[in-house]
């Protein structure tokens, strides 16, 4: 079984995000970048399938400029077999990414595509769903457990108010939630070996995809600073303030 | 956010701009090693350090290693962290491929080791000692012993220790009493060793002790000491740990810091005698130890950098958050806005950057010996390693005392409270000027073996190189003031060298009297040299459109260093000039 796993280069979660002075975007100049944490979970899920003898090949795909080869190398160090960078320039919006991925899927013919449920920069939570729609494949989003039995995929999903269990036919799309697994650290020997694994670069043109901006970024603002709280003297004062000031009850 | 994050950008700056790692590696035929690979390695080591090792630092301090019936029990959580560290292959980084190593340059290993020591100094001592043991075996043991022990030490499946010190033999190893008696194909070792770092634990299924002992026919003094491998568990026919050897930890020391690092009193041969195997030639044990001495001493110098970095990150965070100022409009501001807090932070930062530059440049000299194109080049670089090693060990660890103390100071009263954690770094740092040769021993090495013995040739070569940097600063417009500061410090270094060379013959106490001041002078001067080099590179990168925030801060660090740290060379020179007079004037009773 071939597994395709997607990897996005995003701002490192340890970095304090700053807005550019002209508010045109988040300031990424000279900022530490890393693999999106949900993508790490996706890679880990794929590697575990391979270690269990259920997957035979893992292809890691990233959409973005040449710099995202760094994250593909990380995926290769974690256990992916080869990488594909789709050289799209700056990251397209989710629909553009989904179309590019659909074209890669058409060429690679994987049995399973695992994506992070969202990326910590855009937080759109759309690419996996759009890819499923474009391919007309079954999808299981926000997976917190994943099992492959007799060619069928059993996925536990985290939904509001509980867990939902799904059974899917392959090929299928899975997007990962935080609790699906705890990603491993890449080992030093595997970091060394990752350099020698194949990494292919493809352009949107080669994939027959014309990218179109469906959304326009107008302005980015830092969230308002949190105001200090106040201490109330009694429950009745609290209720009064919730009614008159917070206007929530 | 983790409370320790590896400052990868500064490390990469030093590796790229001062060490010029890529050029060196391609010249040395290490074509696989490039900036991209090193970044990937540092990033992953940084993650493991921040996420796995750093969080165990506090518990290691409060719940240090304990002795139980089955031996030393390490801090809870350490065994799992060690397993993760070991399974990720980090112990194998610089080891030879033949033994399962990754054969990466020493300077890359040093950059990575900075992370382990910052994240958890007490933990990182274990792999550090293992590396020392495996180097002694790799350089001196028989092929048979190498095959039996090296693969497991390289993989980290077993750890290693260094057993030198005895109750009456500390800095003076000539006084070693532990005995080794031939017994068939092995020796029986008996005696007591003290201060044995990570001498026992339950994290791995064997511990390999390297022990200095005397053979029955040994001449007196240091020329009668031999080196032995004494495993905790003897190897069976398949090479796996089998019968328990007669080597035990009999007690643990109660220490000021690094509580999670068990400091063992080791007893060898209490019953039938501990089985040991001779490493290298009889009576040549000290020479075997010396090959790894440079490495171990540089490693401890590196610990000075690492603990300083950790203290700095904590102090910086506190200074940004601690509101202790009120503006006219009534709003509050953090203490980082006070000039004196900024001075302390900048002093920490500038010191750390100079330490990192010197640690990595010195580590790279070891690689330049290993990969030298000809014997002359190898000898030249070995001379530089020999010279820089006591400076790295002595100066970095002494500076770490000041930096970690400033870390406490910035916290104010909270710094004195253990829960804050700043005091822990201060306590942990205190051992660094002592073990692996005290500052006094480093200084004697510098003035004696490394200077007087070669009539100051090694120093003259270094000073000439520093002179070239002064000239480059002079020709770069923005650095006129720094050029003068470095020039004056260099003149102080040359004068100190002259005073030492000329004065040592007529005054037996001179070298010892001036030695630590001499070492510190050389340290500040080397730091100034590399900070000046950093400034020149930062300026060039800035003009080429590099990362402004980082490069401008680097220029400020370099300027601060030349304004506030480099002038210390002048007072050190004054103290050196005073010579031995007052130091030797009192009778012992008058103290």
Interface of B with A in 24-43 (CB under 8 A): 32, 36-37, 39-41, 43
Residue among A30, A74, A191 minimizing CB distance to B550: A30
| Higher-confidence position of B174 and B337 | B337
- Considering the domain architecture, whether residues B16 and B146 belong to the same structural domain is answered as yes
Residue B184 lies in a domain: yes
Interchain pair A191, B36: CB under 8 A: no
Residue among B1, B39, B52 minimizing CB distance to A14: B1
Angle between helices B106-119 and B339-370 (to 10 degrees): 140
Cβ atoms B474, B426 nearer than 8 A: no
Closest by CA to B233, choosing from B196, B209, B206, B265, is B206
pLDDT band at B173 (very low <50, low <70, confident <90, very high): confident
Residue entry with tokens 């490390």: B11
Closest by CA to B202, choosing from B243, B249, B164, is B249
Interchain pair A185, B102: CB under 8 A: no
- Considering the domain architecture, whether residues B105 and B176 belong to the same structural domain is answered as no
Interchain pair A30, B48: CB under 8 A: no
Question: Mean pLDDT over residues A57-68, rounded?
Answer: 96
Nearest residue of B to residue A71, measured between CA atoms: B40
Q: What is the pLDDT of residues B202-250, one digit of tens each?
A: 999 999 999 999 999 999 988 999 999 999 999 999 999 999 999 999 9
B544-553 long-range contacts, CB within 8 A, separation 24+: B547/A29, B547/A30, B547/B9, B548/A30, B549/A30, B550/A30, B550/B9, B550/B10, B550/B13
Q: Which of B43, B116, B549 would you mutate first to test chain A, the one with the most A CBs within 10 A?
A: B43
Whether the CB of B80 is below 8 Å from some CB of chain A: the reply is no
- Considering the domain architecture, whether residues B466 and B569 belong to the same structural domain is answered as yes
Name the CA dihedral angle for B511, B512, B517, B519, rounded to a multiple of 10 degrees. Answer: 80
Q: Which domain holds residue B523?
A: 438-582
Residue among B43, B88, B550 minimizing CB distance to A188: B88
pLDDT of B2 reads 54
Residue entry with tokens 């089955």: B70
Question: Mean pLDDT over residues B85-114, rounded?
Answer: 96
Whether the CB of B88 is below 8 Å from some CB of chain A: the reply is yes
Residue B567 neighbours by CB under 8 Å, 6+ apart: B485, B489
Residue B411 lies in a domain: no
Q: How distant is the Cα of A92 from the closest Cα of chain B, in angstroms? A: 26
Alpha carbon B452 to its chain's center: 24
Return d(Cα B80, Cα B204) in angstroms, integer: 11
Question: Mean pLDDT over residues B124-133, rounded?
Answer: 96
pLDDT of B495 reads 98
Interchain pair B547, A187: CB under 8 A: no
B436 given a catalytic annotation:
yes
Residue B167 lies in a domain: yes
Judge whether residue B18 has pLDDT over 50.
yes
Phi first, then psi, for residue B202 (nearest 5°) are -110, 15
pLDDT band at A29 (very low <50, low <70, confident <90, very high): confident
Return d(Cα A173, Cα A99) in angstroms, integer: 14
> The domain spanning residue B113 has which CATH number?
1.10.540.10
Q: What is the complex's ipTM, to 2 decimals?
A: 0.91
Coil/strand/helix, residue B209? strand
Residue B113 lies in a domain: yes
pLDDT of A42 reads 98
Q: What is the pLDDT of residues B475-521, one digit of tens each?
A: 987 899 999 999 999 999 999 999 999 999 999 999 999 999 999 99
Fold (topology level) of A2-244 = Rossmann fold (3.40.50)
Closest by CA to A173, choosing from A145, A147, A193, A153, is A153
Return d(Cα B540, Cα B166) in angstroms, integer: 53
> The domain spanning residue B172 has which CATH number?
2.40.110.20
Q: Is A243 exposed, middle or buried (0-12, 13-18, 19+ CB in 10 A)?
A: exposed
Residue B401 lies in a domain: no
| Higher-confidence position of B46 and A212 | B46
Structure token pair of residue A77: 């160090």
Return d(Cα A77, Cα B138) in angstroms, integer: 29
Return d(Cα A178, Cα A2) in angstroms, integer: 23
Coil/strand/helix, residue A21? coil
Instruction: Tell me which chain B residues have a C-beta less than 8 angstroms from the C-beta of A30.
Output: 547-550
Instruction: Tell me which chain A residues have a C-beta less than 8 angstroms from the C-beta of B87.
Output: 187
Which of B122, B155, B188 is at the close of a domain? B155
Task: Report how far apart the first and last C-alpha atoms of chain B are (Å, whole number).
Answer: 52
| Helix/strand/coil percent split, chain B, to 5 | 65, 15, 25
Coil/strand/helix, residue B186? strand
Instruction: Tell me which chain B residues have a C-beta less than 8 angstroms from the C-beta of A188.
Output: 41, 44, 88-90, 92-93, 102
Return d(Cα B288, Cα B282) in angstroms, integer: 11
Return d(Cα A9, Cα B346) in angstroms, integer: 33
- Considering the domain architecture, whether residues B444 and B550 belong to the same structural domain is answered as yes
Whether the CB of B403 is below 8 Å from some CB of chain A: the reply is no
Return d(Cα B308, Cα B353) in angstroms, integer: 10
Closest by CA to B357, choosing from B514, B536, B130, is B536
Judge whether residue B552 has pLDDT over 80.
yes
Provide DSSP, B246-287.
Answer: SEEEEEE---SS-TTS-EEEEEE-SSS-EEEEEESSTTBHHH
- Considering the domain architecture, whether residues B146 and B226 belong to the same structural domain is answered as no
Three-class SS string for A120-189? Answer: CCCCCCCHHHHHHHHHCCCEEEEEEEEEEECCEEEEEEEECCEEEEEEEECCEEEEECHHHCCCCCCCHH
Coil/strand/helix, residue B373? coil
- Considering the domain architecture, whether residues B142 and B270 belong to the same structural domain is answered as no
- Considering the domain architecture, whether residues B151 and B13 belong to the same structural domain is answered as yes
Q: Indicate the domain borders of chain A.
A: 2-244
Nearest residue of B to residue A16, measured between CA atoms: B1
Return d(Cα B287, Cα A145) in angstroms, integer: 58
Which of B110, B125, B155 is at the close of a domain? B155
Q: How distant is the Cα of A68 from the closest Cα of chain B, in angstroms? A: 12
Q: How distant is the Cα of B536 from the closest Cα of chain A, in angstroms? A: 20
Element spanning B68, H or E:
strand B66-68
Interchain pair A32, B89: CB under 8 A: no
pLDDT more than 70, % of chain B: 99
Instruction: Tell me which chain A residues have a C-beta less than 8 angstroms from the C-beta of B84.
Output: 185
pLDDT more than 90, % of chain B: 94
Helices (H) and strands (E) in chain A, counts: 6, 11
pLDDT of A30 reads 86
Structure token pair of residue B346: 């900048």
Phi first, then psi, for residue A177 (nearest 5°) are -100, 175
Judge whether residue B1 has pLDDT over 70.
no
pLDDT more than 90, % of chain A: 82
Interchain pair B41, A187: CB under 8 A: no
Residue B527 lies in a domain: yes
Which of B268, B287, B306 is at the close of a domain? B287
Cβ atoms B501, B455 nearer than 8 A: yes
Instruction: Tell me which chain B residues have a C-beta less than 8 angstroms from the C-beta of A186.
Output: 44, 88
- Considering the domain architecture, whether residues B151 and B176 belong to the same structural domain is answered as no
pLDDT of B170 reads 86
Question: Mean pLDDT over residues B108-137, rounded?
Answer: 97
- Considering the domain architecture, whether residues B25 and B145 belong to the same structural domain is answered as yes
Question: Mean pLDDT over residues A11-29, rounded?
Answer: 91
Nearest residue of A to residue B8, measured between CA atoms: A32
- Considering the domain architecture, whether residues B192 and B132 belong to the same structural domain is answered as no
Cβ atoms A141, A157 nearer than 8 A: yes
- Considering the domain architecture, whether residues B267 and B132 belong to the same structural domain is answered as no
- Considering the domain architecture, whether residues B458 and B562 belong to the same structural domain is answered as yes
Residue among B44, B89, B549 minimizing CB distance to A30: B549
Judge whether residue B293 has pLDDT over 80.
no
Nearest residue of A to residue B551, measured between CA atoms: A30
Tally of domains in chain B? 3
Interchain pair A14, B8: CB under 8 A: no
Question: Mean pLDDT over residues B554-559, rounded?
Answer: 98
Judge whether residue B362 has pLDDT over 80.
yes
Nearest residue of B to residue A76, measured between CA atoms: B40
Check B436, B465, B505, B589 and give the catalytic one.
B436
Residue B116 lies in a domain: yes
pLDDT of A97 reads 96
Pairing of strands B233-235, B66-68: unpaired
Q: What is the pLDDT of residues B247-265, one digit of tens each?
A: 999 999 999 999 999 999 9
Residue B332 lies in a domain: no
Instruction: Tell me which chain B residues have a C-beta less than 8 angstroms from the C-beta of A189.
Output: 89, 92, 102
Interface of B with A in 342-371 (CB under 8 A): none
Contacting B with CB below 8 Å, chain A residues are 14, 29-30, 32, 34, 70, 73-74, 77, 185-192, 194-195
Interface of B with A in 527-566 (CB under 8 A): 547-550
Whether the CB of B119 is below 8 Å from some CB of chain A: the reply is no
Residue A228 neighbours by CB under 8 Å, 6+ apart: none
Whether the CB of B1 is below 8 Å from some CB of chain A: the reply is yes
Question: What is the average pLDDT value for chain B, to the nearest integer?
Answer: 96
Within B434-509, residue ranges assigned H as helices are 439-447, 457-474, 480-503
């Amino acid at each position: 079984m071939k597994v395709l796993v997607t990897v996005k280069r995003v701002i490192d979660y340890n970095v304090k995000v700053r807005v550019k002075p002209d508010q045109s975007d988040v300031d990424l100049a000279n900022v530490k970048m890393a693999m999106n944490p949900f993508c790490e979970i996706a890679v880990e899920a794929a590697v575990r399938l391979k270690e269990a003898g259920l997957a035979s090949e893992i292809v890691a795909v990233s959409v973005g400029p040449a710099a995202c080869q760094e994250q593909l190398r990380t995926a290769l160090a974690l256990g992916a077999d080869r990488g594909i960078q789709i050289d799209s320039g700056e990251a397209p919006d989710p629909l553009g990414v989904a179309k590019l991925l659909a074209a890669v899927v058409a060429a690679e013919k994987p049995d399973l595509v695992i994506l992070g449920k969202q990326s910590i920069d855009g937080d759109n939570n759309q690419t996996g769903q759009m890819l499923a729609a474009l391919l007309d494949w079954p999808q299981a989003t926000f997976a917190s457990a994943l099992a492959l039995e007799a060619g069928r995929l059993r996925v536990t999903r985290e939904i509001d108010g509980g867990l939902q269990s799904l059974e899917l036919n392959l090929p299928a799309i899975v997007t990962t939630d935080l609790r699906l697994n705890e990603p491993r650290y890449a080992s030093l020997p595997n970091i060394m070996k990752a350099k020698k694994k194949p990494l292919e670069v493809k352009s949107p043109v080669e994939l027959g995809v014309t990218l179109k901006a469906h959304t326009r970024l107008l302005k980015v603002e830092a969230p308002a600073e949190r105001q200090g709280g106040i201490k109330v003297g009694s429950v009745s004062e609290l209720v009064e303030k919730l009614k008159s000031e917070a206007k929530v009850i | 956010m983790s409370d320790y994050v590896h400052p990868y950008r500064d490390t990469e700056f030093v590796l790229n701009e001062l060490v010029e790692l890529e050029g060196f590696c391609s010249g040395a035929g290490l074509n696989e090693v490039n900036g991209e690979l090193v970044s990937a390695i540092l990033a992953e080591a940084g993650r493991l350090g921040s996420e796995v090792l750093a969080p165990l630092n506090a518990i290691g301090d409060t719940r240090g290693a304990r002795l139980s019936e089955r031996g030393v029990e390490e801090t809870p959580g350490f065994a799992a962290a060690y397993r993760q560290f070991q399974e990720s292959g980090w112990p194998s980084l610089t080891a030879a491929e033949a033994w399962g190593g990754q054969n990466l340059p020493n300077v890359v290993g040093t950059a990575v080791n900075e992370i382990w020591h910052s994240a958890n100094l007490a933990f990182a001592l274990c792999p550090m000692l293992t590396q020392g043991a495996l180097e002694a075996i790799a350089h001196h043991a028989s092929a048979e012993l190498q095959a039996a022990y090296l693969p497991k030490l390289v993989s980290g499946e077993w750890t290693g220790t260094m057993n030198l010190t005895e109750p009456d033999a500390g800095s003076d190893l000539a006084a070693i009493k532990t005995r080794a008696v031939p017994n068939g194909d092995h020796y029986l070792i008996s005696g007591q060793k003290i201060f044995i770092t990570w001498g026992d634990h339950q994290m791995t299924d064997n511990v390999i002790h390297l022990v200095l002992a005397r053979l029955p026919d040994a001449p007196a003094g240091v020329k009668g000491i031999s080196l032995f491998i004494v495993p905790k568990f003897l190897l069976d026919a398949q090479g796996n740990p089998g019968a328990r050897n007669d080597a035990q930890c009999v007690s643990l020391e109660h220490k000021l810091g690094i509580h999670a690092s068990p400091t063992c009193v080791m007893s060898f041969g209490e019953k039938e005698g501990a089985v040991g195997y001779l490493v290298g030639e009889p009576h040549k044990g000290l020479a075997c130890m010396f090959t790894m001495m440079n490495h171990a001493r540089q490693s401890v110098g590196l610990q000075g950098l690492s603990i300083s970095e950790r203290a700095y990150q904590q102090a910086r965070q506190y200074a940004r958050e601690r509101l202790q100022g009120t503006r006219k409009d009534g709003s509050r501001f953090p203490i980082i806005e006070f000039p004196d807090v900024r001075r302390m932070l900048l002093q920490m930062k500038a010191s750390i950057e100079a330490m990192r530059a010197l640690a990595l440049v010195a580590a790279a000299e070891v690689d330049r010996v290993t990969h030298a194109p000809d014997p002359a080049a190898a000898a030249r670089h070995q001379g530089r390693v020999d010279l820089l090693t006591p400076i790295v060990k002595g100066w970095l660890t002494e500076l770490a005392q000041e930096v970690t103390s400033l870390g406490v100071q910035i916290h104010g009263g909270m710094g004195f409270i253990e829960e804050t954690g700043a005091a822990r770094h201060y306590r942990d740092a205190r051992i660094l000027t002592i073990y692996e040769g005290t500052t006094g021993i480093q200084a004697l090495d510098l003035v004696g073996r490394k200077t007087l013995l070669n009539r100051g040739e090694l120093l003259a070569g270094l000073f000439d190189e520093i002179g070239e940097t002064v000239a480059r600063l002079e020709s770069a417009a923005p650095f006129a003031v720094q050029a003068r500061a470095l020039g004056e410090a260099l003149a102080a270094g040359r004068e100190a060298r002259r005073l030492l060379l000329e004065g040592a013959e007529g005054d037996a106490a001179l070298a010892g009297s001036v030695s630590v001041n001499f070492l510190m002078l050389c340290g500040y001067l080397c730091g100034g040299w590399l900070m000046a080099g950093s400034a020149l590179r930062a300026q060039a990168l800035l003009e080429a459109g590099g990362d402004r925030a980082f490069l401008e801060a680097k220029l400020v660090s370099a300027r601060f260093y030349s304004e506030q740290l480099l002038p210390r060379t002048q007072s050190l020179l004054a103290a050196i000039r005073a010579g031995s007079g007052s130091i030797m004037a009192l009778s012992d009773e008058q103290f």
